[in-house]
Structure formats: C-alpha cells, structure tokens
Amino acid sequence: MTAEPTAETNFTAPDAALAGQKVPLPGHHGHEGRPYDPAKVEGVRAQFPILQEKVNGQPLVFLDSAASAQKPDMVIDAMGEAARHCYANIHRGLHSMSERTTAAYEGVRRDVARFINAPDARSVVFTANSTAAMNLLAHSYGATMAPGQAILISELEHHANIVPWQMLRDRTGLELRVCPITPEGDLDLDAYRKLLADGRVDLVSITHMSNVLGTVTPVGVLATMAHEAGARIHIDASQSIVHQPLDVQALDVDFMSFTGHKLYGPTGVGVLWGRYDLMQALPPFMGGGDMIRSVSFERSTWADTPHRFEAGTGPILEVIGLGAAIRFVESIGMDWIHQHDQALVRHAQNVLGNLKGVQLLGQPKERGGVVSFTMEGAHPHDLAVLLDQQGIAIRAGQHCAEPLVHKLGLQGTARASFGAYTTPAEIDALGRGLERAHDLLN
C-alpha cells in the first residue's frame, strides 16, 4: 500500500522510500569530474530554499554548517507529506496507517545501515542526537566495565564526548584518560600508544573530525591500536559523516554515533551504531514502552537490540526526514561531496591565510570542511556581528569544545564551515568581509 502524492509535490511515499531510490539533481553527472563543478553546485544549491533568503539586505552566505546544516526540499517535503498522508504511532498498531509508518521508520534503519555499511540493521539505534547517543553509550557500556578500567578520549573532543564520560567516572570511580594533540592539531599517536599500553583501557571514544580544527583522525590506525591493547573503540562521526564516505566495517570500529541535523536532516534524531553482539550485551539506558519483552510488577525483561534502547515513542517524522537526507547525499555522491569539501578547504586556506591580521588555527595532516581563525585586535563575537551585517553567517565562541580552545591559548575563535552547497565565491565574500572588519576594528 502506498500513499498517493499530492498534486503540489513529488513526495515519495514512505514505503516506496524503502527502496533507497537515488534522486538525480540538476547538474548531477556522477562522481567523476572536477571537484568543483559550478553546474553541479548550483544544482545542489537549488534544492535548498533558504539559500534564496537575504540577511540585512544581503544575499545569505551561510558558513555555519558545522553547527547545523540547511535542509533540502527532499527532507522538508518528506516530513511534511508523511505528516499529511502517512502518520501514526509505530510498532504498536495493527491498523494500516500504523503499519505503513512503521515500515517507513524501519526502512530508514536499513537506509542508515547501508549508508555506513553496517552488516546488520538491527545494530542501528535511533536517538535524539549524537549527544543522546554518547550518553546512552556511557551509561550502558559503562555499566559493563569493571573497577580499575579506563576510558580514553582526546583533547579534540566536543563536550558531548567529554561530559558523559566525566559523569561515568564520578559515578563509578573509573579512570578517564585524555590523549594530547600535537602543535599542528593532530592526535599524538605516540602518546595514544602509551595510554593504551597497560591494558586497562576498556573503551576508546574519539572524534573522527574536530569541530574546531577540522582535524580528521586516523580512525583505522586508532582502531587497530585499540584492539591490539584489548580495548574497543567508539568514534563520534557527528562532523565527518557529512564530509566523506564512512564504512564501519572498513574502519573496524565497534561503535559509532552521529546526528541527523548536520547531515542535512532534521533536528531531534541521531544514531548510535554498534556491533550487534556488543549492543545485545548492554543493559538499556531508559525504561518505558517499546523497549521491553515483558512487564510485571515484580520484574521486566528487555527487548532485543535495537528496541531495548528506544524507549517510548520514537522521533517518527524526524527519522523519515533522516532517510530523505541520506537519499539526498547519496544522489549527489559522497565521493563528490568529499572532493568538493577538500577543494573548499584549500581555497579557504589560501584566501584567509593571506588576510592581514588573520591567523588560521591548526595545520592537521587531513582537515575536513571546518576552518577556525582569529583576527588581531578583534573579538570573535565582534567579527560574527560585523559579518552578519554583510549577510555572512559564521560561528564564534568555544564551539562546545572549551578544553581544546583553552589548549590553543584562546577564549574563543571564529569558525567558517562548509556544506555541499558552499561555493568558492562565498569564501571570497568572507575574505572581503574580514578585510572590512579589520579596517574597522584596527
């Protein structure tokens, strides 16, 4: 049974969406060709209605995608049409609408598994965001750890991959270790090896891409070293998932988390993936409906993974939106997105690196689409306000990575971050805006 599209839209009914159809975009010619293809980028941009907006009378230049990416028509339409034509609570109803919505919801679970090359869709757990995913992991995996064991994180981490582990440490007495970074902003692999050497680290939890420096960590190497030391590894892919293809089997990781809203999807949905045998051995994080096998006043028993970790009514429309976001990026091609991202990073380094008074932060071996910087004589907040007056949106502050910003000897930075819709001309506009700000503030 499929929902009929309305006359005004090209809505793909949720159960038809289970096929994971790729939708061609204007200017799409596959993965081949130059990293920057103006026709293809304009075709991508045409899918984002908000990019037609003006801010303070100027065309919007949106360079804050690392905080939250904009939403394409495909996502907006999928959520709206599901709400209009195919919405009911999932897993519990026997009527047709519930069965169709459940099919759409579970279809997205399979879409996610395909997208990250997970061998078993049952290992995909839907959460509210990546912060919720990491809190789930800290609570449930932490409950299986023995006294004297340690968790290893790094100086690159977002607060979401620091605070839950601190809370676990304070609650249980487990040790929390922190791997330092090099002056260039890469993980110090010698220090990482030494922190693993005594065999007490049970879980490594490290970002795949820094949201401040853009550092892309060598996850394959980190996973091998962790496994050789008897540890398991979780990667926070909240930033990297939107910039490059990810394959959990090739990376050989045990757990991975990411959020939907940075992947051109809606807020309110994230993913925790883990190897099925590991997830099945973990206790649940929250109790309630839909996560149980049976309940009595004496005791309850748990459903199998993934449902034991999805208590209560799930983010139904948000999951459908996440599925549309995955189909959107697959239609563009993740290889092309990665090439485009790298071309933008190189262009930003050339443009910003030659501006008077501007200092780029970090020189990692591999950088994703994030560039943080400071300007002599200017507070980052002042830069953000002055640029906003020119229609340019950047981020300013500590980026929920206060320990890293302090490690750099700073109280805050300005940050430009890129999406598939970003153009070199927008980076040029940022450069001109910073020149004006420098002249005004110095």
In 3D space, the residue among 332, 289, 308 whose CA is nearest the CA of residue 420 turns out to be: 332
Residue 413 per-residue DSSP state: E
The single residue of 61, 396, 400, 416 carrying the catalytic annotation is: 400
Residue 400 among the catalytic residues: yes
**Rounded Cα gap, residues 238 and 332, in angstroms:** 20
* Cis, bond preceding 306 (omega within 30 deg of 0): yes
**Rounded Cα gap, residues 95 and 368, in angstroms:** 46
Exposure string over 237-276, b if 16+ CB within 10 A, otherwise e: bbbbbbbbbbebeebebbbbbbbbbbbbbbbbbbbbbbbb
Q: In this structure, are strands 201-207 and 232-236 parallel, antiparallel, or unpaired?
A: parallel
**Rounded Cα gap, residues 406 and 2, in angstroms:** 54
**Rounded Cα gap, residues 188 and 337, in angstroms:** 28
In angstroms, what CA-CA distances link 404 with 63, 159, 380, 401? 21, 10, 16, 6
Q: In this structure, are strands 201-207 and 358-360 parallel, antiparallel, or unpaired?
A: unpaired
In 3D space, the residue among 309, 173, 310, 334 whose CA is nearest the CA of residue 243 turns out to be: 334
Mark out the alpha helices in 46-155 (DSSP H runs): 73-85, 96-115, 130-142
Catalytic residue annotation: 400
